[in-house]
Structure 1
Amino acid sequence: MTRRSFLLQASAASSATMLSATLLAKAQAPQAANIPNRDTVLKFNPDGTPRHFAGNTVICHLLSQCVLRDVMVELHEAMKTSSFKSKLGLTSTDSYHMTVFPGANDLARNVYGWPSYVPADATIERCNEMVGERIAAARFHCELPLRMRIDASATSNYSTALSLRLVPVDDAENRKLRALRDELAEVFGFRTKDHATYQFHMTMSYQIGAFTAREQSDYRAMIGAYAPRMVKAAPVLELACPEYCTFEDMFRFEPRKLLACS
């Protein structure tokens, strides 16, 4: 081998190594940059405990006694003893729910949305009252129950931990749920940026730190084991009447009014 050939091969190898390192860094960068995301920082402290985060919302609580909850509580306990437990802000097993409409909160009035009829400087308590009055006076055209299913693939491949991704069981159910959200947007007086594309879910934990390679592997293995069990527990998840709730943090959602649905 001539000296020129050697130098060319060495340069090519060096460039390939640098390119691989760059691609790896780019692959890892989005997760590192987005964890914890803005939503998580608002709701959880760095040690995983909930922050004060007051507001209102419309949700469907998961039944207090059902097989799906049993599996979710088991998964919750598994996460509490996992290798990645310090990277999670676990939600309360008593508060599992699917959000129908996110509502307003006190810490990000200009980010999530604020009712058009509520003064910008009103307290969150006053906001809760004013929205509650409009909820109580409204009638919604929505046949119950809401019928959802767990998307195991989307749940397993979701970019952060841990959100059960839910989808309506069919097109008719999707149209019904989207129409309900349109009606709620009128009552609340605002729409979020993702109103038309909002992805339904049940949050089991917020991710407050990026996983190491080993932690990521452990997490994927855990979700791979539990996702099929959750799907089996609730092939069709039937959710009862949506509730207008107020909250002080992510651990408790206080029902104030059942939506009048017909």
Structure 2
Amino acid sequence: MYELIQVSENSYYIQSPAKIGLVRLNDTEVCLIDSGNDKDAGRKVRQILEANAWHLTAIYNTHSNADHIGGNKYLQGQTGCKIYAPGIECDFTRHPILEPSFLYGGYPCKDLRHKFLMAQASNSEYLTKEVLPNKFEIIPLPGHFFDMVGFRTPDNVVYLADCLSSRETLDKYQIGFIYDVGAYLTTLEKVKKLKARIFVPAHAEATEDIAPLAQYNIDKVKEIAENIAARCVEPLCFETLLQKLFTDYNLTMNFEQYVLIGSTVRSYLSWLRDSNEISAFFENNQLLWRRTAQ
């Protein structure tokens, strides 16, 4: 873990729970793509920098989930580097309480205010083309989170953040976190067509051909959507539906899984309703979901 792996002349990644991209800008300066999940990750990154006599100029965050920005504060404090994040992700990075609050739908209890869902705040600025290193490209990848992006480096390495998961992860957990299902599927269709020297997803192995894994993720999303719709043949309230899905997929409910899977299931319900696959109505002061006539 935290091994530095070179994938091209100037592009690397650091093997960690959420892969950290590292790009050499010249003989002495580097930038990071994300920073890992906590202060300890930041410390390990700093040790890699020092071992190679590299100076960190900037961290470019793909999005604001805690496992991607957790090392920001430590590394910024140690190196004085700039931090950039796209759109609303920048606001979440500045105010990390927004992540567990969004997931829970209110002020999060202490069971949700921990480093896995709430990083330490860092002084981030909005990501624009103007602040990127020369010949870097921003690749919009919405769906998993609000304004998530990936990056293409000058030596044609593409860092894909969380826009897809490994087969092993999907087979084990089935329901991966998604904020906007429609946008997520559109992103995956775009990713299928991308060409690069190598692709580096945050939660899957680096590969020269990303299309098969992208299709596997697409198929899994559609499978989950069909299962949710099928469960709603008889009207169900959200909590009952969530319980049935946890049972169907042999998942264990705790506070963290309740908000992560629960938020995702709500996103599926919104997508299915907007697609006229299910309807929503109120009865006996309950919001009920029901599959539309096929």
**Pair in the same fold by TM > 0.5:** no
Name the structure where helix makes up a greater proportion of residues: 1
Structure 1 length-normalised TM: 0.29
Greater RCO, CA 8 A, separation 6+: 1
| Pair member with larger Rg | 1
